[in-house]
Amino acid sequence: MASLRERNRMVFLRGSGENPRMPADTPTMRELKSRAQLLKPSIKLGKAGATPTFLSELTMLLDKHGLVKVRLEGFKEQRKEVSRELAASTGAALVQQVGHTVVLHRQPAA
pLDDT for residue 101 is more than 90:
yes
pLDDT for residue 103 is more than 70:
yes
Q: List C-alpha distances in Å: 59 to 45, 53, 68, 72, 88.
A: 13, 10, 10, 16, 12
Q: How confident is the model at residue 25 (pLDDT cuts 50, 70, 90)?
A: low
Arithmetic mean of pLDDT, 86-108: 91
Q: pLDDT (tens digit, 9 = 90+) per residue, 30-67?
A: 899 999 999 899 899 888 888 999 999 999 999 999 99
pLDDT at 5: 52
pLDDT at 24: 57
What's the CATH fold of domain 4-105?
Translation Initiation Factor IF3 (3.30.110)
Domain spans of the chain, in order of start = 4-105
pLDDT for residue 7 is more than 60:
no
Return the higher-pLDDT residue of 6 and 91. Answer: 91
pLDDT at 15: 42
Chain centre to alpha carbon of residue 47: 19
Q: List C-alpha distances in Å: 73 to 12, 47, 53, 68.
A: 26, 7, 17, 16
pLDDT at 109: 66
